[in-house]
Structure formats: structure tokens, C-alpha cells
Amino acid sequence: MLYNLNFIYSEIFISLAIMFLLIFGVFKNKSSKIVYNLTILSLAVATAILLSNPLNSEILLFNSSYKIDYLASFMKILIIVSGLFILLTSSKYLKVNKIFQLEYSILILFSILGMMIMVSANDLIVFYLGLELQSLALYVLASFNVNQLKSSEAGLKYFVLSALSSGLLLYGCSLIYGYSSSTNFYEISKNLNVDQYGFSFGLVFILVGLAFKVSAVPFHMWAPDVYEGSPTAVTLFFAIAPKIAAITVFLRFLYEPFLMFMDQWQIILIFISIASMLLGAFAAIGQKNIKRLIAYSSISHMGYALAGLCAGSNEGIQSTIIYIVIYMIMNLGLFSCLFMMRRAEKYYENIEDLSGLSKNHPTISICLLIILFSLAGIPPMAGFFAKFYVFSALIEKSMYSIVIIGLISAVISAFYYLRIIKIIYFDKPLDKFDADHGVGLKLTLGITTLITLLYFIYPSKIIEIISFINVI
């Protein structure tokens, strides 16, 4: 078995990096900046390690409880790259808000390690271990800004509600174990009995726990408050990385051990997907705070991502993964614009603060225009293709009702995105924002905007990469 450990060198490396940075940070005074830069370096090295392994191989480790396949490797790269860009964009924000502490970057690493374990889990216990490692770091990150009451409130709210969802998920796992006599996914799939209701109940409880993690309706109630209350750098992390991990786990659970129960979980997933799309679209209309609007927008986007999984085909799975990739790129761009809304060492988060942005900051406003068009799903932006792939997979399976509701939801969401564009281009301009932005922030905004705008020129590359993911 030892010779296969090279497939988990990235996890081992991040674990060692966490321990080293913790010890280094404790013993060296004023080490926040060094630790932050070393964290970025650690994530870059971990990405290189992952890319050096053959992605198309399928390896089982630790008595088949840990699985390395193309899906796991791809999602790990996605999680690490998103974490890397989040750190590159947020250093200035942390300094201005006086929360630039060594614990921040270490907690991000802890959370990323938990997510990497989650996406490779082939066992209920390993999955729960990864989930809790991720969640414990996120509780602290949500309440990281101790100077703000909203941040403490966000941390507490996320902790209480997340603990409840973890409890339900654990109960579901225990039911599955009770009826199948195993926690391993392969063993569970062998011992499944469609006639035993215990499996169905277990599956429902697990789906409830996972729906909470992706903030899907009706388990979305935490998202707007936590997104608004958390520091913006943490909100960006919340909006991207846990979603990637949770969608992967959704995929794993539904299509590996519980494929026989498709007729049961498909109904639940269709309801969650439709409800998320509609609620996210309607609730975002009246929002004044950008972060609250992003929270409802992300609920709606998760509805579209889950819709791809409803199809019950490899095409549907691949469309969901493409959707997640494009969603990650769009959110990185959107938050990069948000990090540039700074005036006199104060960050602004309301939609009205964007008033007349095009007059003072034409470059930022063009980037924001492209990203908002993409989020609304307007062709030829990347966001349009993301929705198109999902709808194509659903039409192939004759699931027209979800497609129609998805289109209605997209039209409704276009309204609040266009309202922001109207404020940017046609309202009276306010004072200029500060222009001293870091290289990492400018680079992230430039890369994400270009990919969003020019995706239609060469879309086949990402489709080609993701086409190797065949779960069924």
C-alpha cells in the first residue's frame, strides 16, 4: 500500500504545512505576513503535486475508505486554486480591517484539507471526518472580525445551524450503517435493499445535511446573514470552496452507493433544485446589501448545479461540474470588484455605493458589467453556457418542467443584475474609490473577466477535460 501514498502527497503536504506554520507563527513575533505568503506558496506547491500525478487513475487507499479518481483529483485542484486566488485577493482587505492575523490563513488551510478529504471519501466515517474538519475552521472564520457584532452573530448562527445539520447527517449515516452493516460505499451498494425503508430515511437525512452545506432551499436560512456578517474575504471563501466540496459529495453519494434509489432521491433533488432557483431569484430582488444579494444569487446558482444531477446521466454530472467551474470564476471576479470598493480605509457593501461607478472607474465598471451579464446568463458570456449545458442534459432526459422553471428563474434574476448595471452607468456618481490595489487583486479580476468574456471562443477545452469524469 505504501507505494500508492504518492497519490495523497498533496494532503500530506498541506497537513505538514499547517503544523509547521502553527509552530512558526507561535514562536516568531509579527509573523502574519510571512505565514500568509507561505500559505499561498503551500497551496501552489499542493496544486503542482496534484498535477504531477496521473489524473485518470483510480486508486483505493486505507482499506478502500479513501478513493483517488479523476473526479476527486479535478475537484481538489479546483478547491486549492480557489483558495489560492482568495488569499491573493484579500490581503489588503484584512489589513484595512485589522484582522490580518496568522490564524486566518492557517484556518483556510485547515478548511481546504477537510474539503480534500471530503471529495475523496469512500466511507461514511472518512466523509464525516473531512466535513467536521472543514466546518470547525469555517465557524471560526465566520466570526473572525471580533470588532464587529455582525461577524460574531454570523459565526454563532452558522455554528448552531451547521451543528444541527451535521447531527441530522450523522443520524442518516448511522441508519445506513445499521441497515447495511458497513460504512464503506462499495459495501453499502452491495447490501442495499430497496424494500427496506431504513435506507430511504437514511438517504433523506444525508441529503438534508448536504443541502444545508450548499445552502439549498429549504436549508438556506443561514446563508444571507452569514454572508453579510462575515468579513468579505471569508464570504468569498464561503461562496466558493465549500460549495465545490459539497456538490462533489452530493455526486458521490447519489451515484455510487445509492444509484439503485434514483427514483427516490431524484424527486427530492428536483424539489430542492426548483425551490432554490425560484427563491434565490425572487428574494434577491429587494436586497440593498451586495453580500446579501450574492447569498441569494448563490442559492439560485446551486439550484441550477443540482438540476444537472437530477438528470441521472453522465452528461448531467458533467454539466454540473462545468457549472461549478464557471460559478467559481464569476464569483472570484465579482468579489474582486467588491474588494476595490474602498474609500478612506473603509469598504462599502451597499448597491447604492456603486452609483455612477462608470464615470470614475471605467475599467472596474466594464469588468463588473461582464461578470453581472454572465451571472444573469446572457449570451455569449460564460454563465450562459453553464446554464445551457445543464438545460441540454435535462432536455435529453425529457425533464422539460425543470428547464422551463430554470428559464423563468434566469429571467427574474436578470432583473436585479440589470438594476445594478443601471445604477453603475446611469446614476449620479459618488466620490472616487481608492486606486491602490494589490497586484493579486488586479490579476484575479483581469483573469476572471477575460475567461468570462472570451469563453465562447474556445469552450471545447473545459468540456474535453471534464468529459473524462464518468461516474455511472
Residues 283-307 have pLDDT tens digits of 988 888 899 999 999 999 999 999 9
Q: What is the pLDDT of residues 356-390, one digit of tens each?
A: 888 888 899 999 999 999 998 888 899 999 999 99
Please say if the pLDDT value at position 91 is more than 90: no
Separate counts of helices (H) and strands (E) for the chain: 19, 2
- The residue length of the chain stands at 472
Mean pLDDT of 221-240: 90
Cell match 435529453: residue?
A: 396
Whether 403 shows a pLDDT value over 70: the answer reads: yes
| Percent helix, strand and coil across the chain, each to the nearest 5 | 75, 5, 20
Q: Is the model's pLDDT at 4 over the cut of 80?
A: no
User: How far apart (Å, rounded) are the C-alpha atoms in residues 298 and 308?
Assistant: 16
Say how far apart CA 78 and CA 241 lie, in whole Å.
Answer: 8
Residue-wise pLDDT tens digits, 32-83: 889 999 999 999 999 999 988 877 778 888 888 898 888 999 999 999 999 9
Residues 6+ apart with CB under 8 A from 418: 372, 376
Q: Residue 274: its pLDDT value, please? A: 94
d(CA 366, CA 421): 10
Per-residue pLDDT band at 249 (split at 50, 70, 90): very high
Q: Which of the residue ranges 97-101, 103-107, 170-174, 421-425 would you say has the lowest mean pLDDT?
A: 97-101
* Bridge partners of residue 178, in order along the sequence: none
Q: Indicate the DSSP class of residue 398.
A: T
Non-local CB neighbours of 19 within 8 Å, separated by 6+ positions: none
Instruction: Assess contact for 339 and 93: CB atoms under 8 A.
Output: yes
Give pTM, 2 decimals. 0.94
| Cβ 427 vs Cβ 341: under 8 Å | no
Cβ-Cβ contacts under 8 Å for 112 (sequence gap 6 or more): 14, 43, 79, 80, 83, 241
d(CA 103, CA 17): 13
Taking a C-beta distance cutoff of 8 angstroms, is the pair 332, 85 a contact? yes
Write out pLDDT tens, residues 117-143: 999 999 999 999 999 999 999 999 988
Task: Count Cβ neighbours within 10 Å for each residue of 382-402 and write b for 16 or more, e otherwise.
Answer: bbbbbbebbbebbeeeebeeb
Would you call the peptide bond into 379 cis, given omega within 30 degrees of 0 as the criterion?
Answer: no
Nearest to 169 by CA among 135, 123, 211, 113: 211
Q: Looking at residue 468, what is its pLDDT?
A: 82
pLDDT of residue 301: 93
Asked if 205 and 168 count as a contact pair (C-beta separation under 8 A), the reply is: yes
pLDDT of residue 261: 83
| Torsion (CA) 386, 387, 388, 390 in degrees, nearest 10 | 90
pLDDT, one tens digit per residue, over 12-35 is 999 999 999 999 988 887 788 899
Mean pLDDT to the nearest integer, 169-198: 86
Hey, where are the domains in the chain?
A: 286-472
Name the 3-class secondary structure at 99. Answer: coil
What's the mean pLDDT when you consider all of the chain? 89
Banded model confidence at residue 348, pLDDT cuts 50, 70, 90: confident
Between 468 and 160, residue with greater pLDDT: 160
Q: Is pLDDT of 472 > 80?
A: no
432 has pLDDT over 80? yes
- HEC per residue, 430-470: CCCCCCCCCHHHHHHHHHHHHHHHHHHHCCHHHHHHHCCCC
What is the pLDDT at residue 25?
A: 87
Of 36, 172, 46, nearest to 105 (Cα)? 36
| pLDDT on residue 5 | 79
> Is residue 2 over pLDDT 70?
no
Confidence (pLDDT) at 3? 54
